[in-house]
Structure 1
């Protein structure tokens, strides 16, 4: 299988994207609510069952200098939990500037009439897609 999940982990929402190793493409799927530090596992379980990914890629928030920060711990905890829950390999990858790129993509799509203001909730899923696309591009060059 060549399906991969990407995650943009936040304190209130976790963006989820699905990617394809063969095409190197990714698209946002959903923004999952986080309550008391845990994602809506039933929603995540449903996505997992539907797509059956073989790898999990989690964005690791780093400072502009490439150092870890408090949000990095949250991403690492989520990576451990989700990998154990689905018994799948997980990889952390630098997510710097992914949210800005997702916001720019959203603004461009909105200007082109493809998205509406109410679609703004999809920015978290789009950030996960950006993270996953970058990982897929680097995996291609590193021979993953």
Structure 2
């Protein structure tokens, strides 16, 4: 394994109200939720907060989850997530991979259900988007991180 495959990667669960962010390493192929960033009243990302996360973690690659309907059709959110990924690439000049995240929120809800009692689930709810970003990143690791194209 070449050293260029030992990368820090940030994963994003894009939403018009909130963006979940997770961080992971290709060396361990594991990720953890970092934070959730709110979008403004016009559904624009808080670029200052995203910039702070990118500065803190110095990733070599970014992964954005793109949602589709269960039958594979695109939605407004699909197009918005693609636009967000293009903006990330333009702002930070980093490789950005897109991955289907259709069921990541369901997987995140299941993960939170397993980690928290019924009483504390409401407190964990805001972390849902960051856990979804973790699921997105772990899916990317499972599907792509071991390829020679990195």
TM-score higher than 0.5: yes
Match of 2:3 in 1: none
Decide which of 8, 15, 21 is 1:10's aligned counterpart: 15
Post-superposition Cα deviations, 1:64-116, rounded to whole Å, max 9, x if no partner, equal 11221111011011001111111101111000110000001101101399x65
Tell me the equivalent position of 1:134: 139
Aligned partner of 2:70 among 60, 64, 68: 64
Superposition RMSD in Å: 1.7
Could you tell me whether the CA contact under 8 Å between 2:116 and 2:124 is conserved in 1? no
Q: Equivalent residue for 1:34?
A: 39
SS in 1 for 2:39: strand
Residue-by-residue CA offset, 1:29-64 (whole Å, 9 max, x unaligned) = 111111123211111111111100111100010111
Question: Which runs of structure 1 show a deviation greater than 3 angstroms over 4 or more consecutive aligned residues?
Answer: 140-144
5+ residue gaps in structure 1? none
User: Please, what TM-score do these two structures have when normalized by structure 2?
Assistant: 0.89
Show structure 2 runs of 5+ residues with no match.
1-5
Find the aligned partners of 2:118 and 2:142 in 1 and give their Cα distance. Answer: 26
Greater CA drift, 42-51 or 103-112: 103-112
Provide the rounded CA distance (Å) in 2 between the counterparts of 1:56 and 1:128. 11
Q: Which of the two has greater strand per residue?
A: 1
Rounded Cα–Cα distance in structure 2 between residues aligned with 1:33 and 1:82: 16
Aligned residues: 143
Among 53, 69, 77, the residue aligned to 1:47: 53
